[in-house]
Chains A and B, each alone.
Chain A
Amino acid sequence: MLSQQLTSLQIFNGLSDDDAARICSVLQTSEFKTGDTILNEGGTVQVLWIILQGNCVVSRSCDVNNERILALLAEGDVFGEMSFVRTAPHSASIKAVSDVKACCYRREDFLKLVEDSPEVAWQITSNIAAVLAERLRRMDTWVCDLVDGPHGDVHRDEWENFRSAVYTNWTF
């Protein structure tokens, strides 16, 4: 991966060419076939993935329909950043929906960077925080929609129920 490509990603934004090149040198590229699971919900591998080619879906198991698709990822998208900053089981699974080429940045390499060039590590950390903050904002909107959405239906039902009641049981 080229250092310019790397700094065009939000997480590596603001890094000098030298620093970017240093990170690129430790990235490991992998290839996946359609249907392959790249990251398992509940898994604990601490790796940051960058999609170089192809598409992936983010999904989460749930009671209704067993699985819910949360997002579609494409070239240049990054995933795994949540477990990268905090050790915890993955909140979702990532599956390849086409042939995918991706590279990963391992946490051990990042911890080494923290020791060697804390200012670079700080830049990456603050970029990750920005990505997470954005996602949290989106999540807030979803939560509002979830809370309001079904209520809208209930209101429509409420009006229709009332209409049918006053025209059937309560017509004299």
Chain B
Amino acid sequence: MSAYESARHYFETAASVMDLSPNMKKLLLTPEREVKVQVAMKMDNGEIATFVGYRIQHNSARGPMKGGLRYHSEVNGEEVLALASLMTWKTAVVDIPYGGAKGGITVSPKALSENELETMTRKFIDELQDVIGPNKDIPAPDMGTNAQVMAWIMNQYEKYHGFNPACVTGKPLELHGADGREEATGRGVGLLTEAMLQKLGRSLTGATIAIQGFGNVGSFAAEYLHKHGAKIVAISDVSGAKFDSNGIDVPAALAYARANGSLEGFESEKQLSNEELLALDVDVLIPAALGGVLTKENAGHVRAKFVVEAANGPVDPDADTILQKQGIVVLPDILANAGGVTVSYFEWVQNQQYFRWDLERTRAELAKTLLTSFEKMWAVATEKRIPLRTAAYLMGIGRVGRATVLAGI
């Protein structure tokens, strides 16, 4: 099932609980603007390369639109639209004053030199500069992009519009970035995992956890959970999974991955495949890599009691139904990985105020925002006897809906 179909399915499920009419559903699903541009450039070897870039602005009822820019070979319009709508519900669930958008370029960034990556980014912003901006649509890092790419975006945007650090978030600390932005998504996953366990009378101490993906999200989640007493028994990246029944030495793994660029060669009790990691007998399974990793084929093998969707859409709707039947609680992506966009919001606020927060303040505000939303989502799910995901969508759609009826169309 494609990302678009999954997103549509989850929206429809919530919409039918809310008994939305077909026309209201259409209003909430149709993107406000879709931009598709040619990004043509001369490569280092003189060859002409032409890429296709997207920016899909889904909904701005609650504020300027917000969402990542992704450089990946599989970026396509349909997927970008699905992710843009996910951003609309996500910003609404955590109640930050933004709408939703997403964008990207269909390209394998690893095949480009640093110079080519910069040229491509600047060309892309030449095309987008008119439709983005601090009060319109604010890009952020996503798969294949990082703080350096955001710095180029800011610089290119400022060539047209003057000093404007709030036009993009996820910037380097030296260039108006926010302390705590890089760790935010992973830290949020950790905070929410802890809150969920507490709800059910458990604690992080001694809880066994398997994390798929050791990138920006998985590594910081592992670090937080490890620090707070959880036993991380498995971690993984593209090179495969590492398993240790006594718990992985997370600080050592972090240092290894930073030094070597991957976990390949990191010593552990047992080497597993990514697929085997998903079926481990643990308390919490955290898919933090790609979308669509749990499907109807493998969802039945999951033995964890909780699944935390740190990636976007790792559990497809068929798998979601299977997990539900098995009594496995799924913490949905639109809240679980909302730490990133929340601290992006803090970065934007700081840029708008020309004032810098310290790390403690960012962490405290992040915890407050995420845990308030979590408590609300938990209460809605309990009261209405619905899964957490549906409860989160109800909150998101409800907030976007109220903003829409108040403003009018």
Give the interface of A toward B (CB within 8 A).
Answer: 155, 158-159, 161-163, 165-167, 169-172
Neighbouring B residues of A159 by C-beta, 8 Å: 405
The answer to whether A172 touches B380, judged by C-beta atoms less than 8 angstroms apart, is yes
* B282 touches A (CB below 8 Å): no
Neighbouring B residues of A172 by C-beta, 8 Å: 376, 379-380, 394-395, 398
A158-B18 contact given A172-B379, A172-B380, CB 8 Å threshold: no
Neighbouring B residues of A170 by C-beta, 8 Å: 18, 394, 397-398, 401
* B360 touches A (CB below 8 Å): no
With A and B bound together, what is the CA distance between A170 and B20 in angstroms?
11
B133 nearest CB across to chain A (Å) = 29
Which secondary structure characterizes the binding site on chain B? helix
* Interface bits B367-409 vs A (CB < 8 Å: 1, else 0): 0000000001001100000000000001101100110010000
Give the interface of B toward A (CB within 8 A).
Answer: 18-21, 23-24, 376, 379-380, 394-395, 397-398, 401-402, 405
With A and B bound together, what is the CA distance between A153 and B20 in angstroms?
17
Neighbouring A residues of B380 by C-beta, 8 Å: 172
The answer to whether B24 touches A171, judged by C-beta atoms less than 8 angstroms apart, is no
Q: List 29 A-B contacts (CB under 8 A).
A: A155-B23, A158-B21, A158-B23, A158-B24, A159-B405, A161-B21, A162-B20, A162-B401, A162-B405, A165-B19, A165-B20, A165-B401, A166-B398, A166-B401, A166-B402, A166-B405, A167-B405, A169-B18, A170-B18, A170-B394, A170-B397, A170-B398, A170-B401, A171-B398, A171-B402, A172-B379, A172-B394, A172-B395, A172-B398
With A and B bound together, what is the CA distance between A172 and B380 in angstroms?
7
Not counting A161-B21, A167-B402, a sample of 12 additional A-B residue pairs whose C-beta atoms are within 8 angstroms of each other reads A158-B23, A162-B20, A162-B24, A163-B405, A165-B401, A166-B402, A166-B405, A167-B405, A169-B18, A170-B394, A171-B402, A172-B376
- Write the chain A residue with the least CB distance to B19: A165
With A and B bound together, what is the CA distance between A163 and B404 in angstroms?
9
